[in-house]
């Protein structure tokens, strides 16, 4: 798998993780340095480092860093990053400031150490599963992949479904090898996580390819609690 720094941000409230998973919602996570926590130096967070968010129920959301920027005041952070990107449900400016300072000693710690806007980038999940068959079987396989993709989206990831992207392309002048090459490019170059539904010859080949370069899952529960089938 690709080597990258990974930072573990645990003991998050479940409602906070749910906000981060919601489609089109939270983009910026506020992070206030804790001088007693030597493991999380936000000044070292770099683009494409991985983030491991884990709530008190042990549900996990993996994401990556788009950027991590320091501010000396929470007001400056909210102005520059946009209230809607930090607190989408805040109805007033004062509510946004209040929500930002809701945790104990945040105001004091921000005054002493500043505050970071951690901009989060969602990870892309390649959804693999059977495709070939009769036209009716293909329609069913596409529907199954699409239903799984929606569940994956609700867990806070971006599903990439080759069934939808390249479905029935062989009837539009593309041969099977060309479609497989495009799927391989999508898997290798655009995906962070691999999820497969049911085994098939094509799916099994993709699983073996994916195992050496990314986490692989075959269960939504395992994805929710981050238990890859190829974990060591």
Number of H helices, E strands in the chain: 10, 9
**For residue 21, what are the CA distances in angstroms to 121, 154, 197, 206, 219?**
11, 7, 22, 27, 18
41-51 burial: b if 16+ Cβ within 10 Å, else e: ebeebeeeebb
Residue 150: in which H helix or E strand, if any?
helix 135-154
6-12 sheet: strands from edge to edge: 6-12, 50-55, 60-71, 115-122, 28-31
Q: What angle do CA 26, 154, 101 make, to 5 degrees?
A: 25
For 64, the token pair is 């990556």
**Nearest alpha-carbon partner for 211 in 196, 200, 222, 226:** 196
Along the 232 residues of the chain, how does pLDDT read in single tens digits?
Answer: 456 799 999 999 999 899 899 988 789 999 999 888 877 899 999 999 999 999 999 999 999 999 999 999 999 999 999 999 999 989 999 999 999 999 889 999 999 999 999 999 999 999 987 777 677 877 888 888 889 999 999 999 999 988 776 665 566 666 667 767 777 777 778 899 999 887 777 778 888 888 989 999 999 999 999 999 988 6
**Nearest alpha-carbon partner for 22 in 89, 77, 99, 95:** 89
């Amino acid at each position: 798998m690709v080597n990258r720094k990974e930072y573990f941000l645990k003991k998050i409230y479940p409602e906070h993780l749910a906000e981060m998973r919601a489609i089109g919602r939270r983009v910026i996570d506020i992070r206030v340095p804790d001088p007693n926590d030597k493991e999380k130096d936000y000044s070292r967070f770099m683009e494409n480092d991985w983030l491991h968010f884990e709530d008190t129920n042990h549900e996990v959301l993996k994401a990556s860093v788009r950027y991590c920027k320091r501010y000396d005041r929470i007001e400056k952070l909210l102005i520059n990053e946009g209230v809607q990107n930090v607190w989408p449900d805040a109805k007033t400016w004062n509510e946004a400031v209040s929500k930002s300072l809701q945790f104990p000693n945040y105001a004091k710690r921000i005054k002493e150490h500043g505050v970071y806007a951690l901009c989060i980038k969602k990870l892309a999940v390649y959804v693999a599963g059977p495709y070939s068959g009769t036209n009716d079987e293909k329609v069913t396989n596409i529907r199954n992949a699409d239903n799984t993709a929606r569940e994956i989206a609700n867990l806070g990831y971006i599903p990439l479904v080759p069934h939808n992207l390249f479905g029935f392309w062989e009837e539009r002048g593309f041969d099977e090898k060309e479609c497989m090459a495009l799927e391989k490019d999508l898997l290798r170059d655009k995906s962070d996580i691999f999820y497969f539904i049911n085994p098939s010859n094509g799916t099994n080949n993709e699983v073996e390819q994916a195992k050496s370069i990314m986490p692989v899952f075959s269960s939504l529960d395992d994805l929710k609690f981050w238990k890859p089938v190829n974990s060591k």
